[in-house]
Amino acid sequence: MRYLWQHINSITANYDGSLPLVHYLKHYYKQFPKLGSRDRRMLSTIIYSWYRSAKAMGVAGTEHTEMAVRSCLVACGVDLAPFERLLPDVQAPASVDTELLLPSQPVMSTGIDRRAWLGSMLHQPDLFIRVRKNKKQLCLLLEQHGIPYSFTSDACLRLPNGAAVDKILPADSYVVQDASSQETGNYFQPAAGQQWYDCCSGAGGKSLLLMDKGIKVNLTVSDKRASILHNLGERFRLYGHRQPTSIVADASDTLALTRSLGDRKFDNIICDVPCSGSGTWARTPEQLYFFDPASIDQFSTLQCQIATNVSNYLKPGGSLIYITCSVFRQENEQVVESVARTTGLTLKSSRLINGIERRSDSMFIAVLG
- Residue 280 β-bridge partners: none
Q: What's the CA dihedral at 87, 88, 94, 99 to 10 degrees? A: -10
Least Cα distance to 205 among 227, 187, 224, 231 occurs for 231
Helices 295-311 and 333-343 cross at an angle (nearest 10°) of 40
Domain boundaries, the chain: 4-96, 127-176, 179-368
Give the span between the Cα atoms of 338 and 40, in whole angstroms.
47
Tell me the mean pLDDT in the region 339-357: 97
pLDDT in tens, 185-223: 999 999 999 999 999 999 999 999 999 999 999 999 999
Strands (E), the chain: 127-131, 150-151, 156-159, 174-176, 195-198, 218-223, 245-248, 266-272, 314-324, 347-353, 363-368
Residue 62 has pLDDT above 80, yes or no: no
Q: Are 185 and 284 in contact (CB under 8 A)?
A: no
Q: Are 151 and 157 in contact (CB under 8 A)?
A: yes
Residue 81 has pLDDT above 70, yes or no: yes
- Residue 174 β-bridge partners: 131
Residue 64 has pLDDT above 90, yes or no: no
Least Cα distance to 294 among 341, 336, 328 occurs for 328
Give the span between the Cα atoms of 350 and 368, in whole angstroms.
9
Supply the Cα-derived Rg of the chain in whole angstroms: 22
Q: Are 239 and 289 in contact (CB under 8 A)?
A: no
What's the CATH number of domain 127-176, 3.90.120, 1.10.760, 3.30.70, 2.60.40?
3.30.70
pLDDT band at 171 (very low <50, low <70, confident <90, very high): very high
Give the Cβ contact number of residue 265 at 10 Å.
Answer: 14
Residue 93 has pLDDT above 90, yes or no: no
Q: What is the DSSP string of 304-337?
A: HHHHHHHHTTEEEEEEEEEEES--BGGGTHHHHH
Give the span between the Cα atoms of 87 and 71, in whole angstroms.
11
Tell me the mean pLDDT in the region 79-106: 84
Comparing 127-176 with 179-368, is the CATH topology the same?
A: no
- 338: three-class secondary structure by DSSP: helix
pLDDT for the residue numbered 94: 67
Least Cα distance to 300 among 272, 264, 274 occurs for 274
pLDDT in tens, 97-106: 999 999 999 9
pLDDT band at 78 (very low <50, low <70, confident <90, very high): very high
What's the CATH number of domain 179-368, 3.50.50.60, 3.40.50.300, 2.40.40.20, 3.40.50.150?
3.40.50.150
Average pLDDT, the chain: 95
Residue 61 has pLDDT above 90, yes or no: no
pLDDT band at 92 (very low <50, low <70, confident <90, very high): low
Q: DSSP assignment, residue 126? A: P
pLDDT for the residue numbered 1: 64
Residue 239 has pLDDT above 90, yes or no: yes
Give the span between the Cα atoms of 244 and 207, in whole angstroms.
9
- 247: three-class secondary structure by DSSP: strand
- Residue 150 β-bridge partners: 158
* Global pTM exceeds 0.85: yes
Tell me the mean pLDDT in the region 152-177: 96
